[in-house]
């Protein structure tokens, strides 16, 4: 499957959801498709699957004048499942609670991975 002009390849669905919220909150002029490996025909959504699908995506870029591809893997902290790296960033105050991004991320996390104590 061909990629969009602006594609961000991520490991899986949790990463996809996070980076979609992030891209929307930044008000980017370009529409960025955030997609895990399965979107491009891989059998699984994993870090290795992202690496395996990368040559095909890079070849697709050769034929594009305006194509852009970014890859994010290991976006969460080691030994933390289900958004642990993001929870740690929120708890540590690394994302300003007064910014709309904070509320959007907390709302998304609470819908996907209910964890007590994030809402203020």
What is the maximum alpha-carbon separation in the chain?
A: 48
φ/ψ of residue 81, rounded to 5: -90, 160
Residues 6 or more apart whose Cβ sits within 8 Å of residue 6: 30, 31, 32, 33, 67, 68
Q: Quick check: is 81 in a domain?
A: yes
Q: Quick check: is 1 in a domain?
A: no
What is the tens place of the pLDDT at every residue in 79-97? 445 555 666 666 777 667 7
Assess contact for 10 and 16: CB atoms under 8 A. yes
Q: Quick check: is 107 in a domain?
A: yes
Q: What is the chain's percent helix, strand, coil content, to nearest 5?
A: 45, 10, 45
What is the tens place of the pLDDT at every residue in 35-93? 999 999 999 998 889 888 888 888 888 877 778 888 888 766 544 455 556 666 667 77
> Is residue 23 scored above 80 in pLDDT?
yes
How far apart are the C-alpha atoms of 24 and 74, rounded to whole Å?
21
Q: Quick check: is 70 in a domain?
A: yes
Residues 28-38, mean pLDDT to the nearest whole number: 90
Q: Quick check: is 44 in a domain?
A: yes
Angle at 9 (CA atoms; ends 34, 101), nearest 5 degrees: 45
CA distances from 65 to 6, 62, 68, 79 (A): 12, 8, 9, 40
Q: Quick check: is 117 in a domain?
A: no
Q: What is the pTM of this model?
A: 0.65
Write out the residue range of the structural domain in which residue 79 sits: 6-112
Q: Quick check: is 118 in a domain?
A: no
Number of domains within the chain: 1
Q: Quick check: is 48 in a domain?
A: yes
- Band (pLDDT 50/70/90 cuts) for residue 7 is very high
């Amino acid at each position: 499957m061909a990629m969009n002009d602006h594609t961000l390849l991520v490991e899986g669905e949790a990463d996809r959801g996070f980076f979609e919220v992030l891209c929307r909150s930044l008000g980017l002029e370009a529409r960025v498709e955030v997609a895990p490996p399965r979107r491009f025909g891989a059998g699984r959504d994993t870090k290795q699957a992202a690496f395996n699908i990368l040559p095909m995506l890079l070849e697709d870029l050769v034929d594009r004048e305006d194509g852009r591809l970014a890859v994010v893997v290991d976006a969460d902290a080691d030994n933390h499942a289900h958004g642990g790296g993001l929870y740690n960033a929120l708890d540590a105050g690394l994302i300003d609670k007064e910014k709309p991004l904070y509320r959007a991320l907390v709302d998304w996390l609470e819908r996907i991975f209910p964890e007590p104590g994030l809402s203020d």
